[in-house]
Amino acid sequence: MKLKDKVAVVTGGNRGIGKAIALKLAQEGASVAICGTNEATLKETAAEIEKLGVKAFQQKVDVSKVADVEAFAKAVIETFGKANILVNNAGITRDNLLLRMSEQEWDDVLNINLKSTFLTTKYFVKSMMKARQGRIINITSIIGVRGNAGQANYAASKAGIIGLTKTTAREFASRNITCNAIAPGFIQTDMTHALGDQAKEALLKEIPLGFLGETSDIANTVAFFAADESRYITGQVICVDGGMVI
């Protein structure tokens, strides 16, 4: 219960990696607010959080829209009185080769992945500044570190998150607010389950440890950054990737 009496906010916390993060933080004692675009899975995840003995709050939010994010932040603060931990996890892909990529595909990914991280940080950090303590954890990707053919928009958005993380860390360090990023490698999710056997074999050859990560690997790293043990770490990017980026 390292996070007892803390309030955590997880964007995209209703499924996949985000859901694993939300449940892990709840297991550590934090009350958890989640947002996403699917009301059914938001309600389901909120119910799972409350079964762990903590309070949950859920709201349908388009994290690329200022009005939605501002309203979400206001609702969370009204409900819990504070926000100690912010996990920027919401993200999408719209893969295409650069020459074929449409402006819409570019804008959608940059808005959901990068702009949302800016907006949520802007509106939730105020509560942390008031308390003179906070933890911001941004979920980037190894694609933002090394790039990937067919993912110019995704790579740019995730690389942008790394730059934003470092700047946020510098701007708010004097208020005892840390900001770090986690760069997942290939994690077992619905996307990787859909890969064929050949594709999985080729992928495993790129991973020195020889296996795909699990959502719990990311959630456990988030929990570390959210707790007091990480108090002297800020502005860092940790690759949780089985050694793909060394």
C-alpha to C-alpha distance for 35 and 151, rounded to whole angstroms: 25
C-alpha to C-alpha distance for 195 and 124, rounded to whole angstroms: 37
Contacts for 220 with CB less than 8 Å, ≥ 6 apart: 24
Closest C-alpha to 35, from 51, 56, 55, 53: 56
Q: Which tokens hold the place of 123?
A: 């509106």
C-alpha to C-alpha distance for 168 and 172, rounded to whole angstroms: 6
Query: What residues pair up with 96 in beta bridges, in sequence order?
Result: 151
Q: Give helix then strand counts, H and E, for the chain.
A: 10, 7
Closest C-alpha to 90, from 161, 18, 23: 18
C-alpha to C-alpha distance for 188 and 185, rounded to whole angstroms: 10
Query: What residues pair up with 183 in beta bridges, in sequence order?
Result: 239
Chain-centre distance for alpha carbon 220: 13
C-alpha to C-alpha distance for 69 and 61, rounded to whole angstroms: 7
Query: Which residues belong to the active site?
Result: 154
